[in-house]
Each structure stands twice: as C-alpha cells, then as structure tokens.
Chain A
Amino acid sequence: MTRTIEYRDALNEAMSEEMRRDERVFLLGEEVAEYDGAYKVSRGMLQEFGPKRVVDTPISESGFSGMAIGAAMLGLRPIVEFMSWSFSLVAADPILNNAPKMLYMSGGQFGCPIVIRGNDGAGGQLGSTHSWCVEGLYANVPGMKMVIPAFPADAKGLLKSAIRDDDPVFFLESERLLAYKDEVPEEEYLIPIGKALVRRPGTDCTLVSFGRPVHFCLEAAEELAREGISCEVIDGRTIRPLDIDTIVQSVKKTNYCVVVDQSWPFASPGAEIAAQVHAACFDDLDNAVGRVHSADVPTPYASELEQEYLPNARRICEAVRATTYNA
C-alpha cells in the first residue's frame, strides 16, 4: 500500500518512526522544535517527543554540531538539522575533523553514529552564500557517508537507514524538493545506503545523477526520447559509498555516459564518477564521459542567470547529444 506524500513529510516520518523505535535518537538544530522546523520538516515532533528529544539550538552551527558529536561518542544517535548545508561551513571543524575521524583516531574505540541533514544546493534565487552544494567539498573526506535522495520514498527509507547507521551520515536534501509529492509505502521499510537505482531504463546513453538534478535528467530523457535517443537514468542516491557497479553495468550496455552533478565541476563527485567510469569501463566507452555541472561561478541571484547556472534539462540534452555524437 502506498500513499502520496510530500518529501518533507517522508523525512518527518522517518525521524519520528526512528525516535519511537530507539530512545537514543534525538533531533537538534535551529527552529526544529517550537517553530515546527524552518521548512516544516519536523512539524509536530516537539509535541510528540518533548523538548528533551527535539532540541532547539541557537544559531551556532559549530557549537551544536560539535555538541551532537560529543553525544554520539557516548553511543547516542543525534540527528542534526542544518537549515541549509550552506551554514555548515562554519561547522567545518566538528563535522569534518571530528565526526569522520573519531573512530580512526581512537583506534576503533569511539564511533560517531550521527546524521547531519539539511537543504543542499540552490533554492530559488538565494544568491551565492545560501546555495551551497557541499557534495564536492565534503565527499572528499573518508569516514563519512553521503546520501542525497531525489524522491520522497527514498528520502524516508534512506533517512531511516542513516539513523540506524553506525557511521556518520551526511544527508543532503533540497529545498526545491521538499514539497515534491510522490508515492511512499505505508508499511515500514528501509533503503540501504550505497545502492543506486535505475530510475528510467534506456539503451543509448547512461545518465548518472543524484539529488535534485535526477529530476532534470528525467526531464531531459523525455525530450531526448522524442529525438530517438534512449537514456538510462541512474539515480545514485548515495555519493559515498558510491554504487559504481550499477553505473558500470549500465555503461557497458549503452557505451555512453553523462554525469549530471549540481556541484561545481572542479574536483567534484561528477569528476570522481567520470574517473571511475573511465577506469572501469574504458573498453566499453565510445566517447569520453560527458559532464554537466553547475556553472563554475558563484551562484547568481537573477533568475535567468540562476536557471542557466544549474545543470538544467537543456544543458543535459546538449551534453547527451554531444557525447553520443548526435550533436
């Protein structure tokens, strides 16, 4: 049985279900309690779980994320909500220097089972400081996992898995997807971290993406299908661990690959995937892996500029045509 709910409600269900299941789980962050969540993701949770488990913090990302990490060292399972991953930069030391390294530095004594989640990427005309895609910056760090769901059902199943995971998980949502409605199963389910999904089967070109740009890819695939180019759209869902096997399997079939990544191009997950595809499928490629990223500039404010900045469907179509020699 399924019903249609919003992405934000899928997140809410995941957190609430896990908090009912495991008292070690709690939520903290800016406006998560009395405000009902800056984006209404934690709506109603204060009422259900009370202020000890749904904890409002001041605007103090370094402090409260570090605090959550200290609690996680005791075996608790904090969920840290960043209103935006753009604000995580001031918390870089705790989330990058402490959480992912604690297990290693302590020689296996202290893990850090924390989930850090929030909106990632451009919202709508938020300008350059509030439109960060942190995938490229953070996925570089060993010791953390990075999940970036594009659909409500995945958001729920993956967040539940993230909360149960013994390692730190960075969970990247999108402001632009929070109101996206889709079918979500009624019954309880988990989606494993590290498994990609073929979102749309195809034969002529593999499109790999994760997070919001998966939707751009599906849009592009629709248009390209009308031109006779059949795209296989792979929703990566997780950046670290990267499910390269699913990607490779598809590329071996299509012989073409275009990676769509909302990060900037330089040293990005898209670059990493391209490198891995080249290494794993060299003899199966008919062309170099194509890449579509956000433009290599600060995120602009003006709507026309922002739309062109994003890895939109038109840019994806152009990349697929070029890569498949149909330009």
Chain B
Amino acid sequence: MSIELTMPRLSDTMETGTIIKWNVGVGDEVAAGDVVADIETDKATMEMQVFDDGVIAGLLVDPGNQVPVGTLIAVLAEEGESVEDVSLDSNGTSAAPAAPAAPAAAPPVESKSVSAPSAPRAATPGSGEKLKVSPVARRIASERGIDLVLLKGTGPGGRIIKRDVLGYEAAPAAAAPAQSITSPAPLTSGEEPLSGMRQTIARRLVESKTTIPHYQVSMSFDMESLVDIRAQVNERLAPQGRKVSVNDFIVKACALAISEHRYFNASFGGDRVHFHAGINIGVAIALPEERGGGLVVATIRDADRLPVGDIAVAARALAEKARTRGLSPEDMSDSTFTISNLGMFGVDHFTAIINPPNSAILACGAAIEQPVVRDGAIVPGVRMTATLSLDHRVIDGAMAARYLQTLKQLVEKPAMLLV
C-alpha cells in the first residue's frame, strides 16, 4: 500500500504551506523521522518529517508552490512496492497502487495537476477560519493588490469590509512594512511576492498598530556598572566558550521589574485584563536574508527565575535555531513582554510596535560612551536609551514611569541581576 503525504499543519493557524525545497528526490529511500521538505507556514519555515519508512514514489508539488493543508504533495512506496507500482489516478488526487499484474505503466504524475487547485490565497486567513470578505472589499483589494490576509475585519463576525481595505491603504507609512505591497507606483522597477512570514508580520503589526492605542515612554540608563559586571562575567566565562550579552541582562532586568509591576505581564481582553502566570520574555530575532529575512520573536520562559547565564544560553540557542533550522511554534509562543534591541547596529533609540497580545515592548538602543555629568563634572560614561511602547488600555503613563524607575534601579545597580 502506498502512503500519501499531505501538506501538514505545522502551526496552530496554518491554512496553507509553501514547499521551500524538497530534501529528497523520487526513488530516494527515507526512514521515519527523516526531514523530506522545508515548508514555509504563515509563521516560519518548518521541517516536514515522514512517519513511515519507504521510497519516494512521487513529488507532486513543485518548490515555490503554496497549497492548502491536507493537499496531497508526495507519495511514498512502502516496503515491497516498487516505485513503478505506485501510481496516481487520472486526477492525481489520490494515490492508489496499480494492480500488480497491470502490464502498462501508469501515466506519469504531473505535479501541476495537484498544485493547481490550491485555494485562492485571499481565502487563507491567519485566524484559522474561512476569511469573510464583503464583495466590494474583495474587489478593491484585488484591484489594488492588497492581500486580504493582512487585513483585520471589523464587520460582523470579523468580515473584512470596505473601510478595512481603504483604512489599510491610508495607514501611515510607519505602520506597515505592508505599505510596500499596495498598488505598484509608476516608478517601480520590479516586485516580489510576499513570503508567508512577511504577510504574517504585515498583518499582525498593522493589527497591532491600528487597534492598540500606542504611546511611548523613554528613559536613559547609566550602563557603566552593568557593562563593568558583564566584562567581569565574560572574562570568567570565556574559557568555557560562553558569554553574556547586555541584552541578556536586560531580559533578566525586565523580567524582575515585571514581577513588581503585574500590568506589564497582562493582555487587554475587551471588558477585562488578563494576567499571565509566567513571565516569558520575547526576544526579537532578525533572520538572515538567505532564509528569507524577516523577524521572529523567540520566547525565554520564566525569565525572572532564570539566572542570567541560563538566559544567555537559551537566547543563543534560539537565535541559532531561528537562523538555521527555524523555530518551532513552541519556541515562538506565549511571550508576555517583548524586547527589541537594535543596539548592535549602533541605533541610539527607536520605538517598537507592540507584539500582541503583549501590553508592552521595550526598544533598546546601544550602550554608548558619552559625556555624563557626575558630581558636577563632565566625565566619560556609558548610557543607553530604552523606550517602552505601551497599550494605554492596560498601562497608563505613570505606571510606565514607575516600571522604568524599577528597571533603572536594576540596570544601574545590577547586583540584583546576579542573585
């Protein structure tokens, strides 16, 4: 009996997947657990394993094609079957073994016959439900090249309506990487389709920026002590090939500060605020161009209880995984507060867009040597500016200021971070 391999559901919200590449070819032997393909979901590029031993009898979807979850994408010949024995019926939609006695070879499988009937992209929401779109919204989006998946429907039952499309178009440029996919300007010199991740980023950040009442509060931190301690720690860790980054300290500091300010570990819930049990700090990780670029947020769970060294290990492992194999859904879920750090690029300060359902995100600039006034004299110092973006429905300005005060104490007197 041949085995059908269908597009797997590799995330909770995945509706369609794109074959990035096949790791196997027709005739290759595979064993259960082998990774046969890389598949891009709405969230990440994932590995597709097989669950049976066998020989690849057919690859039905070409790399680059997007098909709905459940679509037959490959056929595996089981032990005892030859690849030739495994054929597809004329529709190419289900695999069936040819009768062993059949003398004639089955018609060759055409990969297009399967990839063609994939669902229209616009019908592929991130929410896991069938996308509801008013007819005119669908038409306008189609005319202007707006991917409906990026939109949040404000009509009944989440229906995407005209104003959602027009509002998306009118949104300020700062809000959206998505802005770049509106109708091509006359001067464009080319275009490329958005990857699934890009589409997800676009949709989620537009949703965040347009539905959450953002505001920002900044504070400057004296980093001298922390830089000093880090240097001491790294000196001792170097022989083990380990090191701790400034950001690892900030993760710890933010987590400890949150334990004193519970609204920073909460989500807006319409008529209530939800508080989360664990303090899970999301860390934004930029992905390399060769993996399609983009941005993921890896989660460091219970960061308030982890020693900085363990935070460093976890952060490093997640970054490595993100840049090579891709993060698993568990790696990316359940963050309660996010940190985005562009310090390594020399950025002074910036603001970030809240990562829902978080209520706050901290944007950290670089720790920069600069003149500071100390005891009435101008002396060299190291300072960092961090900016909180906040959901005003959950956190008011004074609350944010108090949180930053706590954070400032922890960062500027970092001994507590080592406890």
Contacting pair A285 B155 (CB below 8 A):
no
> In the complex, which residues 98-155 of chain B have their Cβ closer than 8 Å to any Cβ of chain A?
134-139, 154-155
> In the complex, which residues 269-307 of chain A have their Cβ closer than 8 Å to any Cβ of chain B?
282-287
Task: Say yes or no: A284-B139 contact (C-beta < 8 A), given A325-B154, A325-B155.
Answer: yes
CB distance from A98 to the nearest CB of B (A): 43
Which residues of chain A come closer than 8 Å to B138, judged between CB atoms?
283
Q: How far apart sit A325 and B136, CA to CA, in the bound complex (Å)?
A: 14
Q: How far apart sit A287 and B161, CA to CA, in the bound complex (Å)?
A: 8
Contacting pair B135 A282 (CB below 8 A):
yes
A119 at interface (Cβ–Cβ under 8 A)?
A: no
Q: How far apart sit A172 and B134, CA to CA, in the bound complex (Å)?
A: 36
**Complex interface bits, B163-184 against A, C-beta within 8 A gives 1, otherwise 0:** 1000000000000000000000
Contacting pair A283 B154 (CB below 8 A):
no
Contacting pair B135 A284 (CB below 8 A):
yes
From A322, which residue of chain B is reached at the shortest CB distance?
A: B156
Q: How far apart sit A284 and B142, CA to CA, in the bound complex (Å)?
A: 12
B162 at interface (Cβ–Cβ under 8 A)?
A: yes
A255 at interface (Cβ–Cβ under 8 A)?
A: yes
Task: Say yes or no: A285-B136 contact (C-beta < 8 A), given A325-B154, A325-B155.
Answer: yes
From B163, which residue of chain A is reached at the shortest CB distance?
A: A325
Which residues of chain B come closer than 8 Å to A285, judged between CB atoms?
134-136
Which residues of chain A come closer than 8 Å to B134, judged between CB atoms?
285-287
Task: Say yes or no: A286-B137 contact (C-beta < 8 A), given A255-B162, A325-B161.
Answer: yes
Q: How far apart sit A284 and B161, CA to CA, in the bound complex (Å)?
A: 11
Contacting pair B136 A283 (CB below 8 A):
yes
Contacting pair A283 B163 (CB below 8 A):
no
A sample of 5 cross-chain residue pairs with beta-carbon separation below 8 angstroms, ordered by A number, consists of: A283-B135, A283-B139, A286-B134, A287-B155, A325-B155
Q: How many residues of A contact B (CB 8 A)?
A: 8
**Complex interface bits, A64-103 against B, C-beta within 8 A gives 1, otherwise 0:** 0000000000000000000000000000000000000000
Q: How far apart sit A270 and B395, CA to CA, in the bound complex (Å)?
A: 50
Which residues of chain B come closer than 8 Å to A283, judged between CB atoms?
135-136, 138-139
Q: How far apart sit A282 and B133, CA to CA, in the bound complex (Å)?
A: 12
From B134, which residue of chain A is reached at the shortest CB distance?
A: A286
CB distance from B314 to the nearest CB of A (A): 45
A-B interface, 7 closest residue pairs, ranked by CB to CB distance from nearest: A286-B162, A286-B134, A283-B139, A255-B136, A286-B136, A283-B135, A285-B135
A residues near B (Cβ < 8 Å) are 255, 282-287, 325
Q: How far apart sit A325 and B155, CA to CA, in the bound complex (Å)?
A: 7
Q: How many residues of B contact A (CB 8 A)?
A: 11
Which residues of chain B come closer than 8 Å to A325, judged between CB atoms?
154-155, 161, 163
From A326, which residue of chain B is reached at the shortest CB distance?
A: B163
Identify which of B154, B155, B161, B162 gathers the most chain A CB atoms within 10 Å of its CB: B162
Which residues of chain B come closer than 8 Å to A255, judged between CB atoms?
136, 162
Q: How far apart sit A287 and B137, CA to CA, in the bound complex (Å)?
A: 10
Which residues of chain B come closer than 8 Å to A284, judged between CB atoms?
135-136, 139
Q: How far apart sit A317 and B216, CA to CA, in the bound complex (Å)?
A: 40
Q: How far apart sit A255 and B163, CA to CA, in the bound complex (Å)?
A: 11
CB distance from B154 to the nearest CB of A (A): 7
Q: How far apart sit A255 and B162, CA to CA, in the bound complex (Å)?
A: 8
Which residues of chain B come closer than 8 Å to A286, judged between CB atoms?
134-137, 161-163
CB distance from A114 to the nearest CB of B (A): 42
Which residues of chain B come closer than 8 Å to A282, judged between CB atoms?
135
Instruction: Give 5 new A-B contacts, CB below 8 A, not counting A283-B139, A286-B134.
Output: A255-B162, A285-B136, A286-B162, A325-B155, A325-B163
Which residues of chain A come closer than 8 Å to B161, judged between CB atoms?
286-287, 325
Q: How far apart sit A255 and B135, CA to CA, in the bound complex (Å)?
A: 9
CB distance from B108 to the nearest CB of A (A): 40
> In the complex, which residues 320-338 of chain B have their Cβ closer than 8 Å to any Cβ of chain A?
none
Q: How far apart sit A91 and B206, CA to CA, in the bound complex (Å)?
A: 64
CB distance from A77 to the nearest CB of B (A): 46
Q: How far apart sit A282 and B155, CA to CA, in the bound complex (Å)?
A: 17
CB distance from B94 to the nearest CB of A (A): 35
Q: How far apart sit A210 and B131, CA to CA, in the bound complex (Å)?
A: 37
CB distance from B153 to the nearest CB of A (A): 10
CB distance from A276 to the nearest CB of B (A): 15
CB distance from B360 to the nearest CB of A (A): 31
From A285, which residue of chain B is reached at the shortest CB distance?
A: B135
Q: How far apart sit A237 and B186, CA to CA, in the bound complex (Å)?
A: 46
CB distance from B296 to the nearest CB of A (A): 35
Identify which of B136, B138, B155 gathers the most chain A CB atoms within 10 Å of its CB: B136
CB distance from B259 to the nearest CB of A (A): 43
From A282, which residue of chain B is reached at the shortest CB distance?
A: B135
Q: How far apart sit A255 and B134, CA to CA, in the bound complex (Å)?
A: 10
Q: How far apart sit A285 and B134, CA to CA, in the bound complex (Å)?
A: 7
From B142, which residue of chain A is reached at the shortest CB distance?
A: A283
CB distance from A125 to the nearest CB of B (A): 38
CB distance from A282 to the nearest CB of B (A): 5
From B161, which residue of chain A is reached at the shortest CB distance?
A: A286
Which residues of chain A come closer than 8 Å to B135, judged between CB atoms?
282-286
From A251, which residue of chain B is reached at the shortest CB distance?
A: B136
Q: How far apart sit A286 and B164, CA to CA, in the bound complex (Å)?
A: 11
Q: How far apart sit A255 and B139, CA to CA, in the bound complex (Å)?
A: 11
From A287, which residue of chain B is reached at the shortest CB distance?
A: B134
Q: How far apart sit A283 and B136, CA to CA, in the bound complex (Å)?
A: 5
Q: How far apart sit A287 and B155, CA to CA, in the bound complex (Å)?
A: 9
Q: How far apart sit A325 and B162, CA to CA, in the bound complex (Å)?
A: 10
